[in-house]
Amino acid sequence: MRPRLEAFLASTDARARIGFDPVEFPHRYTDPRDIEVSALLAAALAYGRADLFRPKVDALLQRMGSSPAAFVRALDVPGAKALLAGFVYRFNVGTDVAVLLLGMGRVLREHGSLEALFVQGLEARGTLHGALDAFTTGLRQVPMEGLRAALGPERGLHHLLPSPLGAGAAKRLNLFLRWMVRGPDAVDFGIWKRVPPATLLIPLDTHIGRISQHLGLTRRKDLTWRTAEEVTASLRALDAEDPVRYDFALCHYGMSGACPAQPVPENCARCALLPACGVGPRVVATATRRVRGATRPGGKGVAVSRRR
């Protein structure tokens, strides 16, 4: 498995795919604080169709100016109202996003970085799940009464910043961590130096879930924290120090349509991972039998006579 995954990873043009990924937003910045603030905002809103959430993130960052970190450090409730009045994206309204932005501003003022808050939770709780729970809980310590008076009630705050974290895979939070911790490379930044990549959990979504089942990395079909742990454990057997390094390539293989939910025989036949896949060889074999049957002399007539 490892040689095939390594070859697959090497064949992926990561730079060409960044424009289809929410990681494109933090790549606009060079200062570590701007990177982590823009990254958390982008990851938090990266659900649903990309052509719908990308304009929302882009518009917010444009209005936040050249330094998102400086913007949130200075942000107050009136400023949040000016920025977010009328904001709606699927489950989330302006109050939800205001909590995130005000929370990041408070953390930067009190801790200096978002990394410091996360590390504090990791040291106190001892597990990644506990650290993320402490992280989101810490971000949500903002003046809710004032926000509700200015922007109205929250609607999807738990979806944006789950607290308590629960049994879900926390895909967008783990995606944010991957960007911050591993690397630096063409995709990930590696600006959080106090968190080892070995502690990361794969950001589990439908694409990673499906491909992981095909490759035998998990037998589970639910998108839960437990499934993400199982997939990561399988990948850790291939690379103990950096188990989620395959995430971007595998996820975008699904996102691009190369490995869709309904297998395409032509795609499977040219897939570099075909020998390690539990689904592709059967798809190719079935398609090959159909083609041979259709091209055999008299094959069409036989098929018609059977239907009769």
Structure confidence by residue, pLDDT tens digits, 195-244? 999 999 999 999 999 999 999 999 999 999 999 999 999 999 999 999 99
> What are 103-115's pLDDT values in tens digits?
999 999 999 999 9
The answer to whether 202 and 244 are in contact (CB under 8 A) is yes
Helix axes 247-255, 2-11, angle to 10 degrees: 70
What is residue 250's predicted lDDT score, i.e. its pLDDT?
97
* CA pair distance 119, 38, nearest whole angstrom: 19
The answer to whether 133 and 165 are in contact (CB under 8 A) is yes
What is residue 293's predicted lDDT score, i.e. its pLDDT?
76
What is residue 292's predicted lDDT score, i.e. its pLDDT?
83
Contacts of 226 (CB under 8 A, 6+ apart): 167, 220
Point out which residues pair with 224 in neighbouring strands: 168
The answer to whether 250 and 213 are in contact (CB under 8 A) is no
Contacts of 3 (CB under 8 A, 6+ apart): none
Q: Which DSSP letter does residue 7 get?
A: H
What is residue 33's predicted lDDT score, i.e. its pLDDT?
98
Flag residues of the chain having pLDDT under 70: 295-308
What is residue 3's predicted lDDT score, i.e. its pLDDT?
92
What is residue 298's predicted lDDT score, i.e. its pLDDT?
58
What is residue 305's predicted lDDT score, i.e. its pLDDT?
33
Q: Sort residue 183 into left (φ over 0), alpha (ψ -120 to 50) or beta.
A: left
Instruction: State the virtual CA torsion across 259, 260, 263, 268 in degrees, nearest 10.
Output: -20
pTM here is 0.93
